[in-house]
Structure 1
């Protein structure tokens, strides 16, 4: 299924609004994702070079069902970014361009009937996706997200940092390869499940409450 077949609109395949608030959290599926980019100005010139994702079902991270793709940005990757992410020109040379990679990612999301996408500082990744689609003349709609920073803000309003690895250390969760989209998605997934346990989330309504009660 192509999510932009009509009216150049991209409907992210999520069902956030149709889930009863009383739905047990064990019955929900989340897709935790992350992107790597050529730089931090994704609202301007920087491009996506990797997308990684992993599902959470029944409050369990399903490591083996991951999604990962490199993305050809059609531009040079700086030495600084290559050193940070280990992504070189050779790795992206034969990779799909952004529009194809995002389509594959949304196909993956749809296959799980996920209720929402989860990320750490997710607004960055959301903006990266939106601008890649905008370059192709598409408009992204219906991308429901939950940010682990918001849940952390609900649990500990005094926290004001953003570093994923430090939060994982604080909450005692697994840390995977940093500055790898899949590695950061896995790290975020384990952090998110622990945050929901600490919040004592039993239902979809509890998850929504946790994501809205940020103290930041």
Structure 2
């Protein structure tokens, strides 16, 4: 297949498999989504969803969260890993939202990226899933699959994001980034597929003889 043919096939195959794309992280508004995405760094969504109910029971808005101490937040999120750093970021970003944004999560990717603990991927997820702004957050699943499917050279996640944005229509980005994540978790896992095992890898590269080596994010 040519790259354009692979792109079209992947788009239709993922739509058939995942016509619905529920947000994996439990949340009720942009703020709780922001906190959940921050917590998901180097942690599974399942673990985050077990941790956030207790956290949000104590504080589910910037005003209440900013009144908690870093130690209190850390105790509530400890099982997510990296809890000291995440607790500091959550407490300080909550203060900044009050000081600079009237207690609201800004619908602005640059403003989001200036918040403590919020990198480009986290900001992109919030823009996409909280505000519906077209974005293509690239996590480890997307970075890996984009290489296996010949959609990017995979030098880094920034390059992968640029390549995917060029290939796919903007109105598909928000849905597609979740569909690729779902597929990567279910069928094209890091160890369960080497670029020759899952249906999409086989369809895109039916004559691939050797495992596809992928560059880490």
TM-score, normalised by the number of residues in structure 2: 0.31
Larger-gyration structure (1/2): 2
Higher helix share: 2
Of structures 1 and 2, the one scoring higher in RCO (CA 8 A, sep 6+) is 1
TM-score, normalised by the number of residues in structure 1: 0.31
Higher strand share: 1
